[in-house]
Amino acid sequence: MEIAVIGAGATGLTAAWKLSLKGNKVTVYEKSEKLGGLCSAISVGDDMLDIFYHHVFTNDTIFIDTVKELGLYDDLKWYEPKNVIYINNKVYPFTSPMDLLMFKPLSFISRVRMGLTVLKAWFIKDYLAIEDTTAREWIIKNAGSEAYNLVWEPLLNSKFDIDSDAISATWIWNKFKLRGSSRGKNINKEQLGYITGGFEKVYNRMAEIITETGSEIRLNDEVFEISKEIDRFRVKSAAGTKYFDKVLFTASPRKFTYVIKGMGKTWLDSLRKIKYKSNICMILELKKSLSENYWMTVADKKFPFVLVIEHTNLVKGHKYGSHIVYLSRYLDPSHDLYKLDDEATKTLFLDGLKKIFPDFSEDWIINIHVNRTLDAQPVVRTGYSKLIPEFETPMKGLYLASMAQIYPEDRGQNYAIRAGLKAAEGISP
């Protein structure tokens, strides 16, 4: 079969890899100049660095099995992170359950209730039972208003912006459950995995196999239109028009509605109900380290970013020649901050960084990279399961596999690869 895969991110490349190994002739279309989607990388020093921050958990078994199959398991290293939270102008440890019990900004009773809420989440099996409850309602009911107002409200606001009050409790449940199950037998220790040389290495290896089998990857080739002519699909891209037996689309449902022709309006309108948040991620190459911490959650609505991630405090053996810091913010694409140019964004983010780290000087800066992505995070609102489209669309032979469909799990490489594997099996058993 001749199969088109739209998008060379984790899901698209995984599907194309498996489909090509089954003897199909696959053409992968990617509008950018780089492979990997959100896992693409840039050269920093003598190493490659992800343009958006990534790590994997010990329970990301699909990802782990995949890197084993690709012969890259020796490149997967495990580290213990040191996580903190910035709140009321102070930094507090926030890695283990013990840190939560010692978290002084909350009253003792609120700390206990918070711990019990996390524990409760681990034992919830049916996420649909809480899907129609908002995260706000669920946290207040279980952990109390103090915990919600001080910790969770600013975090939900910075993650989902104007939609924060509509987010389902399922999203919070998944976060608690994921982090808890990644600790293994020692509940006070967490391990995070990173691929030496960056996660792009995984997807570059898939790409090598795809091309070795005779399939094709077309970079800088944006797809503008997909239509069906009798029993074949016509794919019109920047490079021209090709015909295929089947098509897999792996970008967001929003983008899908722009390119597909001949699909019923009712079904397309259902896709348009799925909203996404955008992301701004600024990378700093620094001469000095900001702190000894890996992950800082900024629980303060006054700051332009929600995360300060000092990547080089986690990853060892790198060749960046500098200290790497990510500053990240999720927001609505209509937000004024998302519309700022790079220079204005740099100024705003650096001003915020100086408030947290008074000793920080711009003289430390070697280089700055500002990255944006429009469809970074699906808005997991109440009733979300009813919005999720089926893998096979109403147009036979046309398939959709996106970040919006991995629910109840949240965004992550493990689930993106899972989606690609399921897509390949569904298209060519």
pLDDT of the residue at 196: 96
Q: Is 78 part of a structural domain of the chain? A: no
pLDDT of residue 179: 56
Average pLDDT over residues 310-321: 96
User: Are residue 286 and residue 233 in the same domain, yes or no?
Assistant: no
Percent of the chain at pLDDT > 70 equals 97
- Among the candidates 181, 211, 242, a domain finishes at 181
The enclosing domain of 341 has a CATH number of 3.90.660.20
Question: How many domains in the chain?
Answer: 3
Q: Are residues 280 and 331 in the same domain?
A: yes
Would residue 58 count as lying in a domain?
A: no
Domain membership flag for residue 421: yes
Beta strands in 219-364 (DSSP E): 223-229, 232-237, 240-244, 246-249, 276-286, 295-298, 307-310, 323-331
- Are 127 and 159 in a shared domain? yes
Q: How many CB atoms lie within 10 A of CB 231?
A: 8
Residue 395 and residue 264 share a domain: yes
Residue-wise pLDDT tens digits, 406-429: 999 888 999 999 999 999 999 998
> Are 300 and 154 within 8 A, CB to CB?
yes
- Dist. CA 138–CA 156, nearest whole Å: 13
Same domain, 254 and 393: yes
Provide CB contacts within 8 A for 50, sequence distance 6+: 39, 40, 41, 198, 199, 200
Question: Residue 26 has what pLDDT?
Answer: 98
Residue 420 lies in a domain: yes
Residue 228 and residue 106 share a domain? no
* Per-residue pLDDT at 182: 52
Please indicate, yes or no, whether residues 114 and 172 belong to a single structural domain of this protein.
yes
Same domain, 387 and 366: no
Q: Mark whether 255 and 397 lie in a shared domain.
A: yes
Whether pTM exceeds 0.85: yes
Asked whether 286 and 372 are in contact (CB, 8 A), the reply is no
**Strands across the sheet with 76-79, in order?**
56-57, 192-195, 76-79
Let me know if residue 77 belongs to a domain.
Answer: no
- Region 343-352 average pLDDT: 97
State the average pLDDT over residues 298-319. 94
Q: Residue 251 in contact with residue 6, Cβ under 8 Å?
A: yes
258-297 per-residue burial string, b: 16 or more CB within 10 A, e: under 16: ebbeebeeeebebbeebbbbbbbbbbbbbeeebbebbbbb
The reply to whether 125 and 168 lie within a common domain is yes
What residue numbers bound the domain in which 239 lies?
2-52+198-274+381-427
pLDDT score of 103 more than 90: no
Domain contains 208: yes
Answer yes or no: is pLDDT of 318 > 90. yes
Give the separation between CA 19 and CA 175, rounded to whole angstroms. Answer: 32
Give a yes or no: residue 215 inside a domain. yes
Whether residues 307 and 291 share a domain: the answer is yes
Domain boundary among the residues 181, 212, 242 is at 181
For residue 254, pLDDT over 80 is answered with yes
331, pLDDT greater than 70: yes
3 near 412, Cβ under 8 Å?
A: no
Banded pLDDT at 7 (limits 50, 70, 90)? very high
Indicate whether 23 belongs to any domain: yes
Which among 62, 63, 21 is positioned nearest to 425, based on CA atoms? 21
Domain boundary among 181, 206, 222: 181
